[in-house]
Chains A and B, each alone.
Chain A
Amino acid sequence: MNSSVLQHIGRFLILIILQVAILNNINFLGYINPQLYVLALLLYPFSGNRTTFLLVSFLLGLTIDMFCNSGGIHAAACLVLAYARPLVLRFSFGISYEYNTIRLSQVIFYERFLYISILVLIHHLVLFSLEVFNVSDILYILQKTLFTGVFTILLCLITNLLFKPSK
């Protein structure tokens, strides 16, 4: 095993523990808990095998579900995120993604912001739709998606800035 695989496994474990131990207990304004663990999926190597990526994201979501007693809502949301990621990558980074030369730490801020926010909002929309599981509460779902999404996006950007890989 080379060191970058170990680095990714370590990041998954740290983010799961952080999410379960601290972030799920914040309850800011009553219900806002940032879902920082999606960062592990956002930072997954862009050139990696897509089938493996789908399986990994399903397992990550299921682990979080096990801790939250929430059935399979995180697994479903992570899966949609993983499936949509190539499309969002092409949309936000354009031509440089096609040539596999992209690194998240090197792109300009606007592109990074676009990439993170689209995927986080997709993830949250699926997550809260399945959690509430009632079409008549669509406004509540959207409200929860927006507010929690803003906090997750902020936290992802801050974490991304703080832990820049050294050159």
Chain B
Amino acid sequence: MQQIINFLIRNKNFLLFVLLFGLSLVFTIQSHSYHRSRFVNSANFLSGGMYDAIGGVGDYFYLKTYNNALMEENARFRESIYLANAELDIDTDSTYTPFTSADSTKQFEFIPALVINNNYSKSSNYITIKAGKKDSVSGDMGVITSNGLVGVIDKTSNSYSTVLSVLNGNFTTSAQLKKSSHYGTISWGNRDPNLVTLKDIPSQAQLQVGDTIITSGRSAIFPKGIRIGQIADFQLDTSENYYTIQVRLFNDMTNLGYVYVIKNNDLEEIKTLETLSNEQ
């Protein structure tokens, strides 16, 4: 007994080192797997508040860029309102009434949020935004800008959230071609912050460099039709059944100002339905 205690006292530094090193390895491994509880993240009062204060300075320099992005978005909205009105005018003349129920238009809500910290040079990147539980943001909500896809909400605190960026090995979502309905999976395989990889597009699809890729709406996170990027390069895989496509993002991931969090009001309904059919 005496010897054991002596041994412990003699090697206390080494044992402490092994203990703490093991602890940090556990944290590291947890951070490499999506959807594990992480104790150490930047969506808390201390780091969130500090990023908020620092971000305030940076925002001032980007005011002009943000303004331009908002102007462009406004212009697009005006255009779509105009187009929608034009369609309605035609429809009132005919006997056909378009299918627009009040519920279907309110399926998705958009919550604006400010980016206060953004990573893009690491091998798994996270973004911190200033919107949290009190703005009714919760985990697994999609995040976009006016230009396209950004990521998915990971952890939330009262007034801050972390976003699993598109530029993260754990991020995947379903995407399709704009001109046909062939769909595949988007993920980030390379270290270039402008490129993502789209896999599993069947070889029957007609592809061209420059084609637009959009979200397919097959997951409950993103609605259909959110712009992702353009085809930069494509090739058949070894079995020659599926294409592997490099997609150049519309979003400049290195320069994000304001983002929108997508809240799906039907999420609960979809989930209960899916669990019901899984049980059977």
Contact = CB atoms under 8 A, between A and B. Distances in A.
Interface of A: 17, 20-21, 27, 30-31, 33, 50-51, 54-55, 58, 61-62, 65-73, 75-76, 79-80, 82-83, 130-133, 140
Contact of B24 (A17, A21, A33, A58): A58
B31 A69 contact: yes
B41 A69 contact: yes
A87 B117 CA distance: 38
A68 B119 CA distance: 8
B40 interface: yes
Nearest to A61: B24
A28 B173 CA distance: 30
B121 A33 contact: yes
Contacts of A131: 122-124
9 contacts: A21-B50, A54-B16, A62-B27, A62-B40, A68-B122, A70-B122, A71-B24, A71-B29, A76-B25
B20 interface: yes
A17 B53 CA distance: 12
Interface residues of B, number: 38
- A-B CB proximity, top 5 nearest: A71-B31, A72-B27, A72-B24, A75-B24, A76-B24
B20 A71 contact: no
Contacts of B47: 20, 66-67
Nearest to A75: B24
B contacts with A: majority SS: helix
Given A31-B121, A58-B20, A79-B20, A71 B42 contact: no
Contacts of B27: 62, 65, 71-72, 75
Contact of B32 (A17, A55, A62, A71): A71
Nearest to B162: A69
B31 to A, nearest CB: 3
B26 interface: yes
Contacts of B51: 20, 67
Given A50-B13, A66-B42, A83-B17, A73 B24 contact: yes
A17 B51 CA distance: 10
Given A17-B50, A50-B13, A70-B124, 17 more contacts: A21-B54, A27-B254, A31-B121, A51-B13, A51-B16, A65-B27, A65-B40, A66-B40, A71-B31, A72-B23, A72-B24, A72-B26, A75-B20, A79-B17, A79-B24, A131-B122, A140-B191
B208 interface: no
Nearest to B26: A72
A130 B28 contact: yes
Contacts of A133: 28, 32, 123
A62 B31 CA distance: 13
Contacts of A130: 25, 28
